[in-house]
Structure 1
Amino acid sequence: MVLYSKKCINGIRFLLDSSVSCTHFHASCENRSILALSSSNLSSPLGSLHYEEEEKLSDLDVVVAKVRLGSSDSEVVKCLVDDPQCQKIKVTQDLVDRLLRRFKDDWKSALGVFKWAESRSGFKHTPNAYDVLLDVLGKMKQMDKMMGMLGEMHRDSHPITLNTVAKVMRRFAGAGKWEDAVRMFDEVDAYGLAKNTEAMNLLLDTLCKSNKVEQAREIFLELKQHISPNAHTFNIFIHGWCKVNRVDEAHWTIQEMKGHGCRPCVISYSTIVEFYCRRYNFGKVYEMLDEMQAQGCPPNVVTFTTIMCFLTKSEEFEEALQIAERMKSVGCSPDTLFYNALIHALGRAGQVQEAIQVFEVEMPMCSVPPNTSTYNTMIAMFCHHGQSRKALDLLTKMEISGVCKPDVQTYYPLLKACLRYGQVDSLSKLLDDMIRRHHLSLDISTYTLLIHGLCRANKCEWAYHLFEEMIGQDVKPRYQTCRLLFDEVKEKHMYDAADRIEYVMKKL
Structure 2
Amino acid sequence: MFLKREMMGLARTVVRCRKIKRCPVYLIPLHFVSQIFGSYVTTLSPRSLSLEKVQQRFKATSLCEHSKKKYQEIQFYLRPEEETYARRIRRVILKANSRTVEDVIQSLQCDEMLSGFQLTSPVVDSLLQKFGDDWKSAFSLFEWASLQISYKHTTYACNKMVDLLGKMRKWERMWDLVEDMREGCSVTLDTIAKMMRRLAGGGKWKDAIVVFDELESFGFVRDTETMNILLDTLCKEKKVEVAREAFVVLKSHIHPDAYTFNIFVHGWCNARRVDEAMWTIQEMKLWRLKPSIITYSTILQAYCNQTNFQKVYELLDLMVSEGCPPNVVTYTTIMNSLAKLGNFDEALGMVDRMKSSGCKPDTLFYNSLINILGRGGQVHEASKVFEVEMEMNGIGRSVSTYNTMISIFCHDGQEQRAFTVLTDMEKASCKPDLQTYRPLLRLCLSKRELYDHIERLLNDIMDKHNLSLDLDTYTLLIHGLCRVGDTEWACLLFDDMLGREILPRYETCKLLMDEARRRNMEANVERIQTVMDQLGSVP
TM-score between the two structures when normalised by the length of structure 2: 0.79
Within the candidate set 398, 414, 432, 2:440 is matched to 414
CA positional deviation for 1:238: 1.0
Q: Does the alignment pair 1:116 with 2:151?
A: no
CA-to-aligned-CA distance 1:12-36 (integer Å, 9 cap, x gap): xxxxxxxxxxxxxxxxxxxxxxxxx
SS at match of 2:255: coil
Task: Give, in whole Å, the separation in 1 of the partners of 2:108 and 2:177.
Answer: 21
Q: Does the alignment pair 1:93 with 2:121?
A: yes
SS at match of 1:298: coil
SS at match of 1:58: helix
CA positional deviation for 1:413: 0.9
Task: Give, in whole Å, the separation in 2 of the partners of 1:428 and 1:435.
Answer: 11
Contact 2:89 2:108 in 1 (8 A): yes
Matches within 5 A, 1:213-252: 213-252=240-279
Task: Give, in whole Å, the separation in 2 of the partners of 1:95 and 1:498.
Answer: 35
Q: Could you say which residue in structure 1 is the equivalent of 2:333?
A: 306
CA-to-aligned-CA distance 1:116-135 (integer Å, 9 cap, x gap): 33333332222222112212
Range with greater deviation from structure 2 (170-179 or 236-245): 170-179
Question: AA paired with 1:131?
Answer: N
SS at match of 1:458: coil
Task: Give, in whole Å, the separation in 2 of the partners of 1:178 and 1:469.
Answer: 45
Matches within 5 A, 1:311-322: 311-322=338-349
Matches within 5 A, 1:131-210: 131-158=159-186, 160-210=187-237
Q: Could you say which residue in structure 2 is the equivalent of 1:76?
A: 104
Structure 2, unmatched stretches of 5+, are 1-72
CA positional deviation for 1:504: 4.1
Task: Give, in whole Å, the separation in 2 of the partners of 1:120 and 1:286.
Answer: 61
Task: Give, in whole Å, the separation in 2 of the partners of 1:57 and 1:361.
Answer: 45
CA positional deviation for 1:239: 0.9
CA-to-aligned-CA distance 1:73-117 (integer Å, 9 cap, x gap): 333333333333222212222122112213333323323322333
CA positional deviation for 1:500: 4.2
Q: Could you say which residue in structure 1 is the equivalent of 2:394?
A: 367
Task: Give, in whole Å, the separation in 2 of the partners of 1:276 and 1:505.
Answer: 46
Task: Give, in whole Å, the separation in 2 of the partners of 1:124 and 1:57.
Answer: 19
Range with greater deviation from structure 2 (373-382 or 318-327): 318-327
1:316–1:214 Cα change, 3 Å: same
CA positional deviation for 1:157: 2.5
CA-to-aligned-CA distance 1:291-326 (integer Å, 9 cap, x gap): 211222111111111111122222222222221121
CA-to-aligned-CA distance 1:260-313 (integer Å, 9 cap, x gap): 222111111111111122233322221221121122211111111111112222
Q: Could you say which residue in structure 2 is the equivalent of 1:52?
A: none
CA positional deviation for 1:502: 4.3
Q: Does the alignment pair 1:494 with 2:521?
A: yes
Task: Give, in whole Å, the separation in 2 of the partners of 1:272 and 1:318.
Answer: 23
Q: Could you say which residue in structure 1 is the equivalent of 2:454?
A: 427
Task: Give, in whole Å, the separation in 2 of the partners of 1:73 and 1:367.
Answer: 56
Q: Could you say which residue in structure 2 is the equivalent of 1:278?
A: 305
Contact 2:97 2:104 in 1 (8 A): no
Range with greater deviation from structure 2 (363-372 or 195-204): 363-372
Question: AA paired with 2:300?
Answer: V
Range with greater deviation from structure 2 (80-89 or 469-478): 469-478
Task: Give, in whole Å, the separation in 2 of the partners of 1:480 and 1:173.
Answer: 35
Task: Give, in whole Å, the separation in 2 of the partners of 1:503 and 1:95.
Answer: 29
CA positional deviation for 1:355: 2.3
Contact 1:2 1:441 in 2 (8 A): no
Q: Does the alignment pair 1:445 with 2:459?
A: no
Contact 2:104 2:140 in 1 (8 A): yes
Range with greater deviation from structure 2 (104-113 or 374-383): 104-113
Task: Give, in whole Å, the separation in 2 of the partners of 1:421 and 1:287.
Answer: 49
Q: Could you say which residue in structure 2 is the equivalent of 1:292?
A: 319
CA-to-aligned-CA distance 1:21-77 (integer Å, 9 cap, x gap): xxxxxxxxxxxxxxxxxxxxxxxxxxxxxxxxxx99712112222222134333333
Aligned residues: 457
Question: AA paired with 1:482?
Answer: C
Q: Does the alignment pair 1:351 with 2:378?
A: yes
Task: Give, in whole Å, the separation in 2 of the partners of 1:426 and 1:197.
Answer: 58
SS at match of 1:264: coil
Contact 2:374 2:382 in 1 (8 A): yes
Contact 2:438 2:473 in 1 (8 A): yes
Task: Give, in whole Å, the separation in 2 of the partners of 1:365 and 1:307.
Answer: 24
CA-to-aligned-CA distance 1:444-469 (integer Å, 9 cap, x gap): 33333222222221222322333343
Task: Give, in whole Å, the separation in 2 of the partners of 1:443 and 1:278.
Answer: 32
Within the candidate set 78, 82, 106, 2:134 is matched to 106
1:489–1:82 Cα change, 3 Å: closer
Q: Could you say which residue in structure 2 is the equivalent of 1:30?
A: none
Task: Give, in whole Å, the separation in 2 of the partners of 1:267 and 1:194.
Answer: 27
CA-to-aligned-CA distance 1:220-260 (integer Å, 9 cap, x gap): 21221211111111111111111122222112211221222
Task: Give, in whole Å, the separation in 1 of the partners of 2:241 and 2:526.
Answer: 53
Question: AA paired with 1:269?
Answer: Y
CA positional deviation for 1:476: 4.1
SS at match of 1:98: helix
Task: Give, in whole Å, the separation in 2 of the partners of 1:91 and 1:197.
Answer: 40
RMSD value over aligned CA atoms? 2.4
Task: Give, in whole Å, the separation in 2 of the partners of 1:306 and 1:152.
Answer: 45
Range with greater deviation from structure 2 (233-242 or 116-125): 116-125
Larger RCO (CA within 8 A; separation ≥ 6): 1
CA positional deviation for 1:358: 2.2
Contact 2:82 2:123 in 1 (8 A): no
Range with greater deviation from structure 2 (66-75 or 266-275): 66-75
Contact 1:408 1:440 in 2 (8 A): yes
CA positional deviation for 1:137: 1.7
Structure 1, unmatched stretches of 5+, are 7-54
Question: AA paired with 2:275?
Answer: D
Within the candidate set 52, 58, 61, 2:87 is matched to 61
Contact 1:301 1:333 in 2 (8 A): yes
Question: AA paired with 1:407?
Answer: D
1:57–1:150 Cα change, 3 Å: closer
CA positional deviation for 1:472: 4.0
Range with greater deviation from structure 2 (458-467 or 168-177): 458-467
1:2–1:223 Cα change, 3 Å: closer
Within the candidate set 156, 173, 178, 1:128 is matched to 156
1:448–1:84 Cα change, 3 Å: closer
Task: Give, in whole Å, the separation in 2 of the partners of 1:284 and 1:421.
Answer: 47
SS at match of 2:452: helix
Contact 2:83 2:123 in 1 (8 A): no
